[in-house]
Structure 1
């Protein structure tokens, strides 16, 4: 029987690329998003997540790709609502899905969780302090949960991309994207399919001795 993968943020960008690549690997893939996906899901709502999990049944692979960029500009200009919303989607949403799905994976003795973090969570991007903070939180959550589940057959890893050519980056201020792209030694933006290749390996039986890790896919930007 084919394994089932749930990909949040699966209607576009990295999430959609991951969904297509996982399907090509033979998985039954369910995409979740606010619009345009197999399943409408607001990841910030624990009630909606619980209902979705009950409807789906066993999920073997979870890709947490739902995310927002949040406010762009100086930290002093960020209001409470912008801070709270960015954390609700990027961090609390990831928490909700991990909490709901990993117990079943543990019970069955096999599972893979791939969380989408960012180079911003490791290095910090000026003008994107809230986004950077949320992705640092995703990295911390991944490392802790990976260690918690290390002997269960459930592996939890994160991917930290630099700027990827997606609808989210296209909606960012051009000067912000230009500055971030200028930090990439390869001299170009990454493509969603490139991230999906890494995510698919992390979600497979081919990945056996890695958990609680953060994989950079940054065109050489990462310094550690």
Structure 2
């Protein structure tokens, strides 16, 4: 390996050194993959999830590998607890460089609107959309103090195209995409970027709860004829929240095996 290649690897390894990265939904799936990669590239992590056992396991895994991490368990749709948590992080670290939100629930799938309960619809909206609003609102003033920040929300291809039988999920992710675009423009002159990623079908614990008929429908829509992996999504996400990604905001990055190219 040449000296140039070694230098490039070193730069990549250190690109998040001393940055504070807060990751909601880090307990499993895409969030866990992002957290693991960020830690390996020098970030100091604050990992948050409603799943206490999973988040503690990830914390121990990162500590064992020599990373710096703290963990919190809370519901992203609980405004009071989220605000208190963000304030504790700020008090301890004096800054937040990166906010990544990977929280998401599918809700009912392969379910006609006639059979879709309002309670289920509201729950999906609260977790997938209201939670994203709460944590964005809490962290933006902190980022404005230093005139720097990277905010990333995981949306879905369902928010761009809609999935039949998943009205709550599709609606919540479409609204999240709108929020990302609006915030990106609102903060465009602050050196705080706000972007989203819209994955297609990804092999993860989240989709293990999806109706098999719906999964088959989604695979059939993918030109590559396979689901993506959480590591493929994480690789894209790390670039988006890096200092290198300085001229994109309000953007939705597709990672869908060719299903969406717009």
Which category of TM-score, normalised to the shorter sequence, fits these structures?
over 0.9
Q: Which runs of 5+ in 1 are unaligned?
A: none
Task: Give 1:223 shift.
Answer: 4.5
Asked if 1:97 is matched to 2:135, the reply is yes
Give secondary structure in 2 for the equivalent of 1:215. Answer: strand
Give secondary structure in 2 for the equivalent of 1:156. Answer: strand
RMSD between aligned residues: 0.9
Give secondary structure in 1 for the equivalent of 2:119. Answer: helix
| Residues 168-192 of structure 1 deviation map (CA, whole Å, 9 limit, x = unaligned) | 1011111111110111111110000
> Where in structure 2 are the equivalents of 1:12-31 lying within 5 Å?
12-31=28-47
2:239 corresponds in structure 1 to: 201
Asked if 1:219 is matched to 2:257, the reply is yes
Q: TM-score, normalised by structure 1?
A: 0.98
Would the aligned equivalents of 1:184 and 1:220 in 2 still touch at CA under 8 Å? yes
1:51 corresponds in structure 2 to: 84
Aligned structure 1 segments of 4 or more residues deviating by more than 3 angstroms: none
Task: Give 1:211 shift.
Answer: 0.1
Q: Distance in 1 between matches of 2:45 and 2:220?
A: 35
Would the aligned equivalents of 2:254 and 2:261 in 1 still touch at CA under 8 Å? no
Q: TM-score, normalised by structure 2?
A: 0.84
Greater relative contact order structure (CA < 8 Å, 6+ sep): 1
| Residues 34-61 of structure 1 deviation map (CA, whole Å, 9 limit, x = unaligned) | 1222210110010010110111112210
> Where in structure 2 are the equivalents of 1:1-224 lying within 5 Å?
2-35=18-51, 36-37=54-55, 38-57=71-90, 58-72=95-109, 73-224=111-262
**Radius of gyration: which is bigger?**
2
Q: Which runs of 5+ in 2 are unaligned?
A: 1-16, 56-70
Q: Distance in 2 between matches of 1:98 and 1:223?
A: 27
Number of residue-to-residue matches in the alignment: 224
Q: Distance in 1 between matches of 2:152 and 2:41?
A: 16
